[in-house]
Structure 1
Amino acid sequence: MNQELTQIKDVRQIIMQPAYQDRRGNYGSDLAVLILATAVELSPVVQPVCIDWDLKAIDNDLTEGNLGTVAGWGVNENDTYSDTLRIVQLPVVSDEKCIKEQPRDFKKYVTFTTFCAGYRNSKLCFQ
């Protein structure tokens, strides 16, 4: 961990997506907003996240082949869960192609709240 780039903050509140379905083994809507106890200090490596709340543009943003940034703590290249937030830029893949090219069990993860992205080398496939 790079100490000069790290800011450790307590979380005051976690606001989960009401549609989160982990209790049934479906990870749709698996996101949350974290309200921090104290403000972060903005720097060249710590910047606000820009969210386009106007969903009219989402079809353009999620056009197959567009690059997007995917972040998360999911399963890594060693088939273990990462304890560090990981970030990668990946091309968007159509839902149809994603479902067709992935194992049968993957289909349940492709819902109206997710999108597919990754490369065809099977090493990087996120939603």
Structure 2
Amino acid sequence: MGLQQRILRFVTRANWVLLALAAVLGPISLPADVSMGLTCGALIVTINFHLLSRTLEKGLRPNQLSTGNVILAKYYVRFLISAVIIFLLISKHLVDPLGLILGLSVVVVSVTLATVCELTKLIFKEAV
């Protein structure tokens, strides 16, 4: 398995694990609105990442290439739906904005963890 596939699989799994951790540990250690924001943000960004991955996998298959316009249109539709959901969550005061921002950072944390893991493997591989 190539490096890119390994990183993609790690990030995808880490997104779901971090979402589960946010949903389980958030209510225990944070106020309700912050916990709800953390969970909702993590859910929004994890689902978006999953759908983007599916769109790109289907759109970039060699035997059935989609045009870039189709991929971009799906991306913008997801972006607009996410924006409306985030707007409603904040405007109706259902979540704390800071918790929501932290939840929306799940993919960034997953990518950072994947990078650290791969760099650690690379450094220890060269040390041997």
Fold shared by both chains (TM-score > 0.5):
no
Relative to the length of structure 2, the TM-score reads 0.26
Q: Which structure is larger by alpha-carbon Rg, 1 or 2?
A: 2
User: Which structure is higher in strand share?
Assistant: 1
Alignment TM-score, normalising by the size of structure 1: 0.26
